[in-house]
């Protein structure tokens, strides 16, 4: 196969950051994806509809001419989130739901949730009004090993949450373990998950063997190969519960290659090509359209795309760095060859 056309895909988990960096990050995604769920972990965080619409305007100002791109705004869940804010979100077609960051779990998560159980009234309102909850699924207590944080969160927080609110629409984002796959598969149709390219293509050996590789460092952290294999199996299974979410997270090279390097892989410049690389390795290119273009839209209740994008089988090398307003940035898969590229 030398060419593959599929409905324009959607990115159901994307970090664009803000202000001057939008000139780089928005075109990189808008040139390929039709819709994207925009993460709210700015400083300060995007916690209400008014802030979200202002942020959305800044994003739309950087969308290239002719690109049909729809940012879907997630609101940052805090201990102060109220039913009124849930009602406002439910009434705004540009807001997709609330993002649950356990406090301290990842970049700019200090304002995140510290007591999930205390927010039961908010989750009840979300279930009633059909407002999705997007979850970064990790505990953050110091006594839990970083490689076990997802499993412990599922066992101690998510399963009890879904027992209390069985109708809640929940997306476990950027899953990294066989435990997460099993959890999603055990739940009803109102629970799904996104999977990133880095967690499909790599495991923790790619982070640690031969020296620490900061540009492969992300949170949740890469896990053992056995977990990678479980994610790979889920992605190509044809199950509508698993779909594309890059978690593309831009950081300046100086912030990644530092004594305390930032977590995140900036995959947007080659996102669809990276997924194509994985699906071809799995001899499953026929499953890419469902994973990238259909299942996420179906789960969130959006129409499937009718416009198409075309991938051409022609090897190319991902750039070593990308110039941005905050300095050079090293993209995920830098200097490596990919076999597919999007026709622009």
Check the annotation: does 165 bind a ligand: no
Check the annotation: does 157 bind a ligand: no
Check the annotation: does 99 bind a ligand: yes
Q: What is the DSSP letter of 216?
A: G
Check the annotation: does 136 bind a ligand: yes
Structure tokens that stand for 174 in this block:
């950027």
In our burial notation (b when 16+ CB lie closer than 10 A, e otherwise), range 311-342 reads beeeeeebeeebebebeebbbbbbeeebebbb
Check the annotation: does 48 bind a ligand: no
Check the annotation: does 227 bind a ligand: no
| Helix-then-strand count for the chain, H and E | 14, 11
Check the annotation: does 247 bind a ligand: yes
Task: Report the 3 state secondary structure along 44-83.
Answer: CCCCCHHHHHHHHHHHHCCCCCCCCCEEEEEEECCCCCCH
Number of Cβ within a 10 Å radius of residue 80: 10
Q: Smallest Cα–Cα separation from 64: which of 36, 96, 23?
A: 23
**CA-derived radius of gyration, the chain:** 19
d(CA 134, CA 171): 5
User: Which positions are catalytic?
Assistant: 247
Residue 210 CA: distances (Å) to CA of 178, 205, 206, 227: 26, 9, 9, 21
Check the annotation: does 272 bind a ligand: no
Strand order in the sheet with 191-195: 11-14, 35-38, 70-76, 95-100, 133-135, 170-172, 191-195, 242-244
d(CA 202, CA 290): 22
- List the binding residues for Zn(2+): 13, 15, 99, 136, 174, 247
- List the binding residues for substrate: 15-17, 41, 136, 219, 251, 263
């Amino acid at each position: 196969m030398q060419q593959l056309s599929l409905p324009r895909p959607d990115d159901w988990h994307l970090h664009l950051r803000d202000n001057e960096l939008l000139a780089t990050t928005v075109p990189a995604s808008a040139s390929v994806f039709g819709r994207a769920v925009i993460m709210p972990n700015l400083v300060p965080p995007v916690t209400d509809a008014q802030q979200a619409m202002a942020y959305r305007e800044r994003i739309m100002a950087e969308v290239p001419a002719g690109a049909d791109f729809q940012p879907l705004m997630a609101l940052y869940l805090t201990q102060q989130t109220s039913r009124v804010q849930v009602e406002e979100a439910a009434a705004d077609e540009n807001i997709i739901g609330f993002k649950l960051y356990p406090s301290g779990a990842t970049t700019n998560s200090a304002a995140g949730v510290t007591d999930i159980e205390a927010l039961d009234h908010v989750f009840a309102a979300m279930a009633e009004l059909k407002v999705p909850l997007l979850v970064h699924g990790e505990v953050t207590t110091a006594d839990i090993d970083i490689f076990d944080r997802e499993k412990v969160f599922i066992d101690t927080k998510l399963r009890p949450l879904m027992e209390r609110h069985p109708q809640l629409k929940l997306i476990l984002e950027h899953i990294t373990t066989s435990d997460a796959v099993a959890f999603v598969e055990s739940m009803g149709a109102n629970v799904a998950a996104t999977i990133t390219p880095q967690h499909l293509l790599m495991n923790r050996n790619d982070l640690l063997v031969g020296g620490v590789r900061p540009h492969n460092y992300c949170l949740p952290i890469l896990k053992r190969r056995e977990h990678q294999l479980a994610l790979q199996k889920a992605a190509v299974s044809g199950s509508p519960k698993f779909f594309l979410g890059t978690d593309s997270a831009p950081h300046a090279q100086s912030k990644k290659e530092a004594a305390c390097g930032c977590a995140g892989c900036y995959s947007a410049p080659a996102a669809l090509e990276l997924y194509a690389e994985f699906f071809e390795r799995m001899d499953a290119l026929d499953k890419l359209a469902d994973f990238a273009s259909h299942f996420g839209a179906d789960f969130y209740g959006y129409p499937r795309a009718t416009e198409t994008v075309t991938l051409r089988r022609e090897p190319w090398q991902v750039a070593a760095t990308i110039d941005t307003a905050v300095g050079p940035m090293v993209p995920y898969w830098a200097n490596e060859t990919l076999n597919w590229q999007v026709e622009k």
